[in-house]
Structure 1
């Protein structure tokens, strides 16, 4: 039975995922003033990053329309959809509208919508898991049950080099951002089980923050029994590899992927940002 995995572009696709015809990216739109960028495989993330650095105001993003999801539903017998946390983006709601419309027309159908309750590397984990289950011969209902358990257990953690985009997007007041930058404080954050972003810890300096996020990842992986790790990085491969090495000294993973952030993760993480899914 054929299947497709529709990933909104919050999902940072590995080369393996990009090469699979079953995996389809449904792009968000990124906006800097009057200039729009479609967050698809043609987006030059480094060019976008440079333009974002030079842009004085708040970068914006817009979710795909329901029609952008719906147009792919008839490509396969089973449809799996992975979106950014519904607490962070309207992408989930848009995909839900598409799913409801399709079911109204077609009756009971094999469409499964997944609120990742995270972003970036966390969504990559879900895409990898879906493929693993399909290749193991699992049926649709079995996959739904297993993914729900997997999604509830996984974690998303991140650390940022700069707080500027958090400030611009109202996540930090200007005073807090100024004090944090002046003291070189780097917050280490994670998604809670509802998909909200919360501060897990903080450190003075990015090197210490990398150690903290590595320690937190090991702690979360030990608790959940995670055997898969994805590290997304925004133009800082060496940092991602260093964090991977710190993590794997203390916890064994069966699979590790390091991938560069796509457009939407680049917009919020900015240069030097790290996102971990485990």
Structure 2
């Protein structure tokens, strides 16, 4: 049976995933005022980052339309859709509308929608799992079970140089005023079981925050028995490598991927941001 993995562009795909014809990125749109960027394979994320730095107002994003998902459903017998957390974007709802439209009109294919309850590296982790299961010969039901088990136990954790874009775009609803910029306090963030962003801990300075990020991730990996890790970085590959080294001292991973952020994660993480899916 043929299959497709549709990832909205919140996912930071590895080169391996990009090379697979079964993996398709469904792009969001990014806006700097009247200038619109399609977050697809043609977007230069570093160029976008620079333009964002020079933009004085709040950058915005818009989710794919239902048609952006719907047009791919006939391309395979099984379709797996991985979206950024439904608490952070309407991408999940857009995909759900597309599925409802398809089932009402045709409905012959098996389509499974996965709310990653995370973003970036966390979505990539799920895509890797589907490919792994399919390479092992898993059928549709086995694949759904395997990816849901991972989704239930995985964790998205991140450290950013600044939370300003998240705050301005309303992605930190309910967040208490714990950020002390003058004291150089860097929060370590995670997502709850519903996919909302919450604070896990905090440290003074980015280096201590990254060490704390590694500690929290390693603890989670040990508790869940995780052997796979994805690290997304926004224009800071050396920082990502250092965190990888710290993690590998604490826990044995079978697969570690380091990937640069795509457009959407770049918009919210900004330069220096690290996002881990484990």
Task: Name the counterpart of 1:74.
Answer: 74
User: Displacement of 1:56 after TM fit?
Assistant: 1.3
Query: Contact (CA 8 Å) 2:76, 2:109: kept in 1 or not?
Result: no
Offset of 1:66 from its aligned partner? 0.2
Q: What is residue 43 of structure 1 aligned with on the other side?
A: 43
**1:211-230 map, 5 Å:** 211-230=211-230
The equivalent residue for 2:188 is 188
Please list every run of at least 4 consecutive aligned residues from structure 1 whose deviation after the TM superposition is greater than 6 angstroms: none
CA distance in 2, matches of 1:108, 1:49: 42
SS in structure 2 of the partner of residue 113 of structure 1: strand
Q: For 2:121 and 2:69, how far apart are their aligned partners in 1?
A: 21
Is the CA contact 2:202–2:209 (under 8 Å) kept in the aligned structure 1?
yes
Structure 1 contact 5–23 (Cα < 8 Å) conserved: yes
Give 1:223 shift: 1.2
Equivalent residue runs for 1:92-131 within 5 Å? 92-107=92-107, 109-131=109-131
Is the CA contact (8 Å cut-off) linking 2:73 and 2:109 kept in structure 1?
A: no
Q: Indicate the residue corresponding to 1:16 in structure 2.
A: 16
Displacement of 1:106 in angstroms is 2.1
List alignment gaps of at least 5 residues for structure 1.
Answer: none
What is the aligned-residue RMSD (CA, Å)?
A: 1.5
| Counterpart contact for 1:57–1:168, Cα < 8 Å | no
How far, CA to CA, are the matches of 1:82 and 1:166 in structure 2? 21
Match of 2:247 in 1: 247
With normalisation by structure 2, the TM-score equals 0.96
Once the two structures are TM-superposed, the CA of residue 263 in structure 1 deviates from its matched residue by 0.3
Question: How far 1:107 sits from its partner (Å)?
Answer: 3.6
Q: Distance in 1 between matches of 2:237 and 2:199?
A: 24
Cα distance in 1 for residues equivalent to 2:69 and 2:106:
16
Tell me whether 138-147 or 27-36 shows the greater mean CA deviation. 138-147
Q: Secondary structure, in 3 states, of the residue corresponding to 1:188? A: strand
Distance 1:148 1:102 in 2: 23
Shift of 1:103: 1.1
What are the Cα deviations for residues 101-121 of structure 1, in whole angstroms up to 9, with x where unaligned?
111122463101100000000
Secondary structure of the corresponding residue to residue 40 of structure 2: coil
- The total of aligned residue pairs comes to 276
1:267 matched residue in structure 2: 267
Runs of 5+ in structure 2 lacking a partner?
A: none
Taking the aligned partners of 1:217 and 1:37, their CA distance within structure 2 comes to 33
TM-score of the pair, normalised by structure 1: 0.96
The 2-side partners of 1:33 and 1:203 are apart by: 34
CA contact (8 A) 2:74 2:109 kept: no
Q: CA deviation at 1:167?
A: 3.8
